[in-house]
């Protein structure tokens, strides 16, 4: 097989990305647009900086409830009427909150786009927060929390963040807890909306059957009535904690979820892409990664093993996980530790590095093959402040990552030698 | 609205969906050795989705060998005489491709997503492993451990998944859909190299395969590449036969409960035995598609409106239907109770909602709204080449035709209010049902 091709200088991942336009509305709202008429739909993605890290003390779950309530009645329409207007036109409108942002996603057939935009305007500008809707969404958030209360994977995530970010907003469960959610009031929710849903911290991208002029006008109609300035104070910068002894949480199941990690590299740090390449080599998701080969292929220890860089806005995180039967949990963890130690001591092989660059360059186009995927990629690039031309530059940046860069990234990710390890189940030998 | 439908209720099998005719111009042809080909051009991005589907799934597992279809799917990554273990994955990875495979009740499929210039390479490798697989105990034994870990992860640690298995086992008293796709733990433990090879030789043939290519390609280009690769695989003369038992007419309402200390949020679910798109005698499957949308598709559905909005006894409720099955399928209904509501009370309420629905009939507005959403899904699907490839592949693998897929929006449009009510009246009855409870145990 002809796998010896050297890394090519980046090709365009997508024809569409040649055509990212910066659209600025008369009122000064910016959006990035890819106009594409092949399929008669419009996809809009947007985010307000804020998110679950803004939840007040003892009020965890506020941002999640806010996201759940934005499509539960707005302007003249109660929840049922609002949902009916969306459903009758097959308009898909979703809001959700992560640690750093409150996000929304809108998808509509071209012929219903104007009505979709108007419903979005109502949702962000005039949400009602009716008492019955608050009660309903609260019950749904609580049911969601109960559903995963003893789920090993969910518990491992919660415990990992708790121990990595003790006392910090990032350490709290993003959906709150069963003790907190009942205490959230309408004032908490409305207060978070007025602080967060504003023009100064808004990012918007659009893909599909809409031109720049139309989008510019719609941006003012949708978002123009929002307050100019958000009142969001970002959480304090924090370095995730590591520990010498694993945190073990007992749940009576035959398999243990093992989650591990520590400090990562910030998204705009010069070492981010080297760390990203390193992560791909270690456990980035391809069947060729070291952990996949050592943990799954050679030893049959687990079905999946993955690692990732999670760049939070005020911290950095490198994390991975796997699930192994309790009797072999210690073996899995020691195989993972050995691969990390080997990458730190020796670095990857030249060929391994070359293959990783080839993969990351070649696969970039696969992130741009649907309207929603393009809009989401662009939105994240906008939020991260990487520039509207980043898609065109990105593959050259990956191609330029050298062995020295990757070794330096390994020093930064693994050099402390300590990781936070959380194991949930009945792991033996940890 | 916050989605609290238990994730485990997400169906494994792909729903039968078709794109708007204008959006996807498909091309179909058959190679001389009997292999069917579907090409779905999407010129927006220079990538292709390359899939090969085999018309065999877990429901074709021999008795006592449950899980063999899925186990073999794993073993298909273990190399051939021509390309040793790991080489295919290394090539896919070096080319920046994505790859994976999946097994369902009626089919098994393998796919890669790559830049369009690498399509020929993918076809060469995929055609090679149609007949060239080499297995040794050194790779078979650790991979069986991987599958056992997969089952532990998906089922053994998750009471919701255990309820799903128990309900299917109760619903299908005679048909193999009652056996989990991944297999029962004790039978997976016994699967070996000889089982895998026997199964492979029986089903992995050109006559039994469907090639689906979606993306930045022309049909003629695919045909030329397919002739050079898949076309070289020797035909066996006939497609292997599936030996399926038929489910008898059901008579008994069945109730199953999984009670576990890990369950903190109980719910009820029910499954009704109903025709699939393949086993319908008229147009019941289309009526059931519309019924599922009206009864349980989202926040405006009958179940959500009644149980969540009006009576305030559930935090969520819904329904869905899997039409794309070779044999009789199932219609599923679920509801998640509020804390002070018992599962029995919720069952009673569900019965009431369904009875009232049958009695009152379907409003023209709710029929039109449901059809709009179902047909819009097709436009949204046309935005996603990988999704389109799955729609066509899954349909052909259960014996539907491309024409039937393309006619789906028109068939949905033609469904009448009377047909929807008749489907509910006829199929959503106790004798066809399994009621499942997920409950807390101390």
Residue of A40, A141, A146 lying closest to B2 (CB–CB): A141
Question: Residue A314 phi/psi, 5° resolution?
Answer: -125, 20
The predicted pLDDT at position B279 comes to 97
A26 and A103 part of one domain: yes
Query: Are B15 and B78 within 8 A, CB to CB?
Result: no
Domain tally for chain B? 2
The predicted pLDDT at position A17 comes to 58
Q: Do B262 and A251 touch (CB under 8 A)?
A: yes
List the helix and strand counts (H, then E) for chain A.
14, 11
The predicted pLDDT at position A14 comes to 53
A219 and A254 part of one domain: no
> B302: domain CATH number?
3.30.830.10
B194 and B281 part of one domain: no
In a domain, A33, yes or no: yes
Does residue B7 carry a pLDDT above 60?
no
CA dihedral (B157, B160, B163, B169) positive or negative = negative
B310 and B186 part of one domain: no
Domain tally for chain A? 2
Q: From the CA of A180, how many Å to the nearest CA of chain B? A: 17
Residue of A287, A325, A362 lying closest to B152 (CB–CB): A325
B146 and B281 part of one domain: no
Average pLDDT per block of 10 residues along chain A, 430 residues long: 32 61 97 95 98 97 98 98 98 98 98 98 98 98 98 98 97 97 98 97 97 98 98 96 93 98 95 98 92 96 97 95 98 97 96 96 93 96 96 96 98 88 97
B114 and B57 part of one domain: yes
A204 and A251 part of one domain: no
Interatomic CA distance for residues B88 and B100, integer angstroms: 11
Interatomic CA distance for residues B249 and B252, integer angstroms: 10
In a domain, A2, yes or no: no
Overall average pLDDT of the B209-218 stretch: 97
Does residue B9 carry a pLDDT above 50?
no
Which A residues, 58 through 97, put their C-beta within 8 Å of a C-beta on chain B?
64, 67-68, 71-72, 79-80, 83-84, 87-90, 92
Domain coverage including residue B295: 246-440
Question: What is the ipTM metric for this complex?
Answer: 0.93
A404 and A344 part of one domain: yes
Q: Which residues of A touch B3 (CB under 8 A)?
A: 140
Q: Do A323 and B43 touch (CB under 8 A)?
A: no
Nearest residue on chain A to B19, alpha-carbon basis: A39
Residue of A72, A79, A90 lying closest to B372 (CB–CB): A90
Q: Do A3 and B91 touch (CB under 8 A)?
A: yes
Interatomic CA distance for residues B311 and B304, integer angstroms: 10
- CA dihedral (B121, B123, B126, B129) in degrees, to 10, reads -90
CA atoms within 13 A on the CB side of A223: 28
B225 and B277 part of one domain: no
In a domain, A242, yes or no: no
A203 and A143 part of one domain: yes
A65 and A213 part of one domain: yes
B308 and B432 part of one domain: yes
Q: Do A366 and B47 touch (CB under 8 A)?
A: yes
**Domain edge (last residue) among B232, B259, B285:** B232
Q: Do B77 and A287 touch (CB under 8 A)?
A: yes
In a domain, A8, yes or no: no
Q: Do A147 and B86 touch (CB under 8 A)?
A: no
Q: Do B152 and A254 touch (CB under 8 A)?
A: yes
Mean pLDDT of chain B: 94
In a domain, B240, yes or no: no
Q: Does A304 touch chain B (CB under 8 A)?
A: yes
CA atoms within 13 A on the CB side of A357: 26
Burial zone of B429 (CB within 10 Å; 0-12 exposed, 13-18 middle, 19+ buried): middle
Kind of pairing between the strands at B433-440 and B267-274? antiparallel
Q: Vertex B406, ends B405 and B407: CA angle to 5°? A: 90
Q: Which residues of A touch B366 (CB under 8 A)?
A: none
Q: Which residues of A touch B186 (CB under 8 A)?
A: none
The predicted pLDDT at position A72 comes to 98
How many residue pairs bridge chain A and chain B with CB atoms within 8 Å of each other?
212
| A351-355, B20-24, B43-47, B272-276: least confidently modelled range | B20-24
Q: Using alpha carbons, select from A214, A308, A322 the residue that is nearest to residue A262.
A: A308
* Residue A380: CB atoms within 10 Å: 18
The predicted pLDDT at position A18 comes to 65
> A118: domain CATH number?
3.30.830.10
Nearest residue on chain A to B23, alpha-carbon basis: A39
Nearest residue on chain B to A81, alpha-carbon basis: B300
The predicted pLDDT at position A416 comes to 76
Q: Which residues of B touch A84 (CB under 8 A)?
A: 300, 369
Q: Do A370 and B383 touch (CB under 8 A)?
A: yes
Nearest residue on chain A to B214, alpha-carbon basis: A369
The model's confidence at residue B10, banded by pLDDT at 50, 70 and 90, is: very low
The predicted pLDDT at position B25 comes to 85
**Domain edge (last residue) among B203, B232, B261:** B232
B271 and B301 part of one domain: yes
DSSP string over A311-358: --TT---EEEEEEEEGGGHHHHHHHHHHHHHHHHHH---HHHHHHHHH
B308 and B381 part of one domain: yes
In a domain, B414, yes or no: yes
Nearest residue on chain A to B85, alpha-carbon basis: A297
A416 and A295 part of one domain: yes
Q: Do A254 and B382 touch (CB under 8 A)?
A: no
Q: Per residue in B133-154, pLDDT tens? A: 999 999 999 999 999 999 999 9
Does residue B413 carry a pLDDT above 60?
yes
B45 and B137 part of one domain: yes
Q: Do A325 and B97 touch (CB under 8 A)?
A: no
Q: From the CA of A222, how many Å to the nearest CA of chain B? A: 20
Both tokens of B83, joined, read: 């390309």
In a domain, A339, yes or no: yes
Does residue B259 carry a pLDDT above 50?
yes
Residue of B44, B149, B265 lying closest to A255 (CB–CB): B149
The predicted pLDDT at position B421 comes to 98
Overall average pLDDT of the B90-118 stretch: 96
Residue of B1, B94, B385 lying closest to A355 (CB–CB): B94
In a domain, B16, yes or no: no
Q: Using alpha carbons, select from A254, A231, A256 the residue that is nearest to residue A246.
A: A256
Q: Using alpha carbons, select from A65, A78, A68, A71 the residue that is nearest to residue A124.
A: A71
Query: Are B57 and B13 within 8 A, CB to CB?
Result: no
Domain coverage including residue A178: 16-223
Q: Using alpha carbons, select from B107, B123, B131 the residue that is nearest to residue B230.
A: B123
Residue of A90, A296, A370 lying closest to B146 (CB–CB): A296
Q: Do A80 and B44 touch (CB under 8 A)?
A: no
In a domain, B384, yes or no: yes
Q: Which residues of B touch A16 (CB under 8 A)?
A: 44-45
In a domain, A235, yes or no: no
Interatomic CA distance for residues A305 and B139, integer angstroms: 18
Tokens 């720049």 correspond to: A212
Which A residues, 323 through 342, put their C-beta within 8 Å of a C-beta on chain B?
323-325
B96 and B200 part of one domain: yes
In a domain, B21, yes or no: no
Residue in B20, B73, B218, B419 annotated catalytic: B73
A201 and A312 part of one domain: no
Q: Does A109 touch chain B (CB under 8 A)?
A: yes
In a domain, B149, yes or no: yes
A289 and A406 part of one domain: yes
* More confident position, B43 or B280: B280
B220 and B93 part of one domain: yes
In a domain, B342, yes or no: yes
A109 and A149 part of one domain: yes
In a domain, A239, yes or no: no
Looking at B24-79, list the stretches that DSSP marks H as alpha helix, in order from N- to C-terminal side.
Answer: 68-75
B413 in active site: no
A58 and A201 part of one domain: yes
In a domain, A11, yes or no: no
B219 and B292 part of one domain: no
Output the pTM of the full model.
0.94
How distant, in Å, are the alpha carbons of A84, A92, B3, B366, B372 from that of A89?
9, 9, 20, 12, 7
The predicted pLDDT at position A3 comes to 29
A78 and A124 part of one domain: yes
Q: Do A3 and B315 touch (CB under 8 A)?
A: no
**Domain edge (last residue) among B232, B266, B287:** B232
**Domain edge (last residue) among A188, A223, A258:** A223
Q: Per residue in B328-385, pLDDT tens? A: 999 999 999 999 999 999 999 999 999 999 999 999 999 999 999 999 999 999 999 9
Q: Per residue in B153-187, pLDDT tens? A: 999 999 999 999 999 999 999 999 999 999 999 99
In a domain, B402, yes or no: yes
Q: Do B315 and A136 touch (CB under 8 A)?
A: yes
């Amino acid at each position: 097989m002809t796998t010896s091709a050297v890394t090519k200088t980046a090709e365009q991942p997508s024809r569409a990305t040649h055509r990212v336009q910066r659209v600025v509305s008369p009122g000064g709202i910016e959006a990035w647009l890819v106009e594409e008429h092949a399929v008669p739909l419009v996809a809009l993605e947007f985010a307000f900086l804020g998110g679950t890290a803004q939840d007040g003390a003892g009020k965890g779950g506020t941002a999640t409830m806010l996201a759940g309530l934005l499509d539960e009645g707005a302007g003249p329409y109660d929840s049922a009427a609002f949902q009916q207007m969306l459903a009758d036109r097959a308009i898909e409108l979703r809001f959700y909150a992560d640690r750093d942002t409150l996000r929304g996603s809108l998808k509509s057939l071209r012929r219903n786009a104007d009505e979709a935009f108007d419903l979005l305007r109502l949702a962000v500008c005039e949400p009602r927060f009716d008492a019955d809707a608050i009660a309903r969404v609260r019950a749904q958030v609580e049911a969601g929390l109960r559903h995963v209360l003893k789920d090993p994977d969910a518990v491992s995530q919660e415990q990992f963040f708790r121990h990595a970010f003790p006392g910090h907003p990032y350490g709290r469960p993003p959906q709150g807890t069963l003790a907190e959610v009942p205490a959230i009031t309408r004032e908490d929710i409305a207060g978070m909306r007025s602080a967060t849903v504003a023009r100064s911290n808004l990012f918007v991208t659009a893909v599909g059957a809409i031109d720049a002029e139309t989008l510019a006008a719609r941006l003012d109609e949708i978002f123009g009535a929002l307050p100019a300035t958000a009142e969001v104070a970002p959480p304090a910068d924090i370095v995730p904690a590591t520990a010498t002894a694993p945190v073990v949480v007992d749940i009576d199941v035959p398999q243990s979820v093992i989650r591990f990690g520590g400090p990562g590299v910030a998204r705009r740090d010069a070492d981010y892409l080297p760390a990203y390449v390193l992560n791909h080599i270690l456990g980035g998701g391809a069947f060729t990664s070291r952990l996949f080969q050592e943990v799954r292929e050679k030893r049959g220890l687990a079905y999946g093993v993955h690692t990732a860089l999670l760049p939070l806005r005020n911290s950095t995180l490198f994390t991975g996980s796997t699930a192994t039967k309790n009797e072999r949990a210690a073996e899995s963890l020691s195989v993972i530790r050995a691969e990390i130690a080997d990458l730190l001591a020796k670095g990857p092989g030249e060929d391994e590095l070359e293959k990783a660059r080839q993969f990351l360059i070649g696969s970039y186009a696969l992130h741009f093959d649907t309207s929603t995927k393009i809009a989401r990629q662009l939105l994240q690039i906008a939020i991260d402040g990487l520039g509207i031309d980043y898609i065109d530059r990105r593959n050259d940046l990956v191609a330029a990552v050298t062995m020295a860069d990757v070794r330096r990234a390994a020093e930064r990710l693994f050099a402390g030698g300590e990781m936070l390890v959380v194991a949930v189940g009945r792991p033996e030998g940890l | 609205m916050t989605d609290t439908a238990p994730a485990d209720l997400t169906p494994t099998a792909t729903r039968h969906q078709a794109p708007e005719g204008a959006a996807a111009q498909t091309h179909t042809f058959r190679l001389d050795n009997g292999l069917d080909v579907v090409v779905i051009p999407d010129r927006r991005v220079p990538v292709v989705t390359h899939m090969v589907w085999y018309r065999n799934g877990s429901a074709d597992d021999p008795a006592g060998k449950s899980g063999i279809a899925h186990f073999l799917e794993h073993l298909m990554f273990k190399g051939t005489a021509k390309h040793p273990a790991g080489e295919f994955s290394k090539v896919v990875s070096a080319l920046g491709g994505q790859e994976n495979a999946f097994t369902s009740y009626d089919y098994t499929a393998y796919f890669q997503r790559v830049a369009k210039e690498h399509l020929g390479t993918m076809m060469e490798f995929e055609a090679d492993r149609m007949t060239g697989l080499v297995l040794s105990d050194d790779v078979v034994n650790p991979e069986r451990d991987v599958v056992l870990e997969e089952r532990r992860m998906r089922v053994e640690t998750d009471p919701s998944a255990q309820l799903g298995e128990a309900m299917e086992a109760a619903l299908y008293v005679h048909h193999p859909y009652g056996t989990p796709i991944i297999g029962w733990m004790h039978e997976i433990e016994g699967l070996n190299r000889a089982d895998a090879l026997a199964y492979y030789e029986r089903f992995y043939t050109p006559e039994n395969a469907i090639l689906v290519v979606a993306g930045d390609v022309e049909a003629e280009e695919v045909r030329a590449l397919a002739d050079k690769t898949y076309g070289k695989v020797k035909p066996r003369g006939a497609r292997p036969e599936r030996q399926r038992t038929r489910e008898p007419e059901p008579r008994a309402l069945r109730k199953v409960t999984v009670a576990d200390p890990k369950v903190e949020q109980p719910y009820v679910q029910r499954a009704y035995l109903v025709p699939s798109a393949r086993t319908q005698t008229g147009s019941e499957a289309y009526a059931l598609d519309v019924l599922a949308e009206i009864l349980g598709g989202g926040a405006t559905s009958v179940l959500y409106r009644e149980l969540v909005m009006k009576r305030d006894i559930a935090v969520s409720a819904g329904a869905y239907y899997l039409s794309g099955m070779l044999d009789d399928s199932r219609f599923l209904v679920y509801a998640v109770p509020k804390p002070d509501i018992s599962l029995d009370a919720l069952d009673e309420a569900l019965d009431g909602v369904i009875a009232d629905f049958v009695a009152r009939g379907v409003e023209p507005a709710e029929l039109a709204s449901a059809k709009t959403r179902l047909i819009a899904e097709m436009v949204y699907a046309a935005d996603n080449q990988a999704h389109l490839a799955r729609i066509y592949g899954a349909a052909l693998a259960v014996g539907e035709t491309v024409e039937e897929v393309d006619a789906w929006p028109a068939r949905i449009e033609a469904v009448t209010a009377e047909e929807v009510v008749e489907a509910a009246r006829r199929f959503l009855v106790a004798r066809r049902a399994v009621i499942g409870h997920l409950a807390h145990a101390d």
